[in-house]
Amino acid sequence: MPWNPGDDLVAVQRGPEPGGLGGAYRVLGETLRGLKTSFGRVVEGTTTIEYPEQKTPVYPRFRGRHRLHTFEDTGLEKCVGCSLCAAACPADCIRVVAAENDPIDRVSGGERYAAVYEINMSRCIFCGYCEMACPFDAITMGHDYELADYNRSDLIFTKEMLLQEPPVRTPLRAEGE
């Protein structure tokens, strides 16, 4: 006995057969519709960014290469070498070795300062936890994303590198852009 499909029946709706006048009209019509999109874009102008001559602008809250900060008035480092960023970092890529400040020749505002501060950029996942952990706003995520290099060890950023302004400024997106 043949199988009874019951309610499971699917009705197949077929389109018109190709060929004929209707067919020719449909082909031309669809082609023109496609061309409309293409020519429409030509009229809009180019949006391609000529990277690397030109940098992609980023949003203000973009999380790129870190920056360490100093106080504007005293020039002392904000970082006190507390290692909280290292503790928060899920990729375990920050290394801090602290030392005691010499009261005559201070490095930071607190009792201690970071004698060694290194971030291994090849490991960083740019989660921003370090920025959140820092009790002194000493480290923030910057806007720079050009971090490629030829050598892994060159990707270990030292304190000096992180304290410096990045060599090329990354453009920011304007409000509402």
Residue ranges binding ligand SF4 (CB under 6 A): 79-85, 88-91, 93-94, 96, 114, 119, 124-130, 133-134, 136, 138-139
Q: Are strands 64-68 and 112-120 parallel, antiparallel or unpaired?
A: unpaired
Binding partner of residue 111 among ligand SF4, another protein, none, CB cut-off 5 to 8 Å per kind: another protein
Binding site for another protein (CB under 8 A): 80-84, 86-87, 96, 98-100, 110-112, 135-136
Give the nearest distance from C-beta 37 to another protein in angstroms: 56
Residues 130/64, Cβ–Cβ less than 8 Å: no
Calculate the alpha carbon distances from 174 to 57, 146, 155 in Å. 9, 20, 30
Dist. CA 114–CA 97, nearest whole Å: 6
Q: For ligand SF4, which is the closer residue by CB, 30 or 137?
A: 137
145 touches 171 (CB < 8 A): no
Q: Which is nearer to another protein, 30 or 111 (CB)?
A: 111
| CB nearer another protein, residue 111 or residue 149 | 111
